[in-house]
Structure 1
């Protein structure tokens, strides 16, 4: 911290997952293996989709964006987590912290949009199959993917710029293993009304907006499937949407439970964050 007319925090201290050296080693190995698996699987997915001409379809086009985003998202958090598991001083500078927050919001915002776009793609394929090829052409797919990345980038930058304008004078302990927007905002000495309004607006407009699109798409898909007399036809429809629906449930479910839990640094919080 700098001492003068006011005290200003220059670094944050991360609580981490454990202070036990033996447990830290186990966690380091576990997260390193998981991280390498995430990178390997997603990069292989990108390679297969790019090289196999049979997979040059809208569904796999969006899946390639999602795979890249998942590898990118893990790379925002895990390297710093691994570093802190091996160090006694679990610190992170303000610049690193704000960058991490910005990229996390950017990735989360982009993923919500991509998941909605993928649900819309499945809606077109199941409910309007005769028009599917014309509706989901390369130009439309590129535009939807580009819009998803642009929206994510915009929300990440806006919320982080407003957060960076807050004054941090101590304490500087973040009750997590990474910089999370709500936990950092709790440490602000100045009134965070603009940041609170911004993140709430983002959650309502982007979170609920994309959720409504998701639910609308799946409602039409389920109604279409139930209207088919053939059991094999129903199974075919549900099999194409099951994995995507599972990802959506995990993504939104963990996010809702995590940010409805009071910030206390409890084990439950840490598990939900992971």
Structure 2
């Protein structure tokens, strides 16, 4: 399917304010960006760079007063999420160097605290994809998904204690459980078609069988419609905007995802 995604932010800034934004999707093996539009008002100089894992980041200094950011993109994505029961665990010595960072504890994913729980959840499962599927099922059945219940990231330990959270929180706990049994896991932030209520979304991916696979304990099925904006070890790496100086809250924050006209749907990216 081809999705049209859009995001709008409006600020009222008291002083000139530095921002780092992460609002441009990039083409990869699971998504292809067909069209893109990025507007800021008033127009000011913007510098773009690629971070350590390949996310597209934009740096700017917003002037005082009203300042808005508007992005749109049309992105080809799979109709369904890939499922591969039996995909094997990858021995640590065989992991690519770029994957190793996703094995370690991080700010919001204290994987060193979850081995006993992860071993209990995954008992009798085949090492690899099947273990992660068991973790996803446990999250869905144990941790209450409550959209809008938290405005700030909390750690996996806190999520497990509270037994509830937003999409980001369930992703953090899933990541921590996977890493605790030596399965590389990373957070992804972006858009999801038909998400209710509509907002930015977070899920997690794991590396098994030589590939990254998507898992999302907030959804009941493996439907497609995911558009990724950023990948990282946890939420600290993938904020869609970081602002420096006096704290600000957007006056408006609008997210929309819709399917593009039928004639686009036969397009399939090749890599």
TM-score norm. by structure 2 comes to 0.24
Q: Which has the higher strand share?
A: 2
Question: Which fold has the larger relative contact order, with Cα–Cα distance below 8 Å and residues 6 or more apart in sequence?
Answer: 2
Asked which structure has the greater CA Rg, the reply is 1
Q: Which has the higher helix share?
A: 1
TM-score norm. by structure 1 comes to 0.24
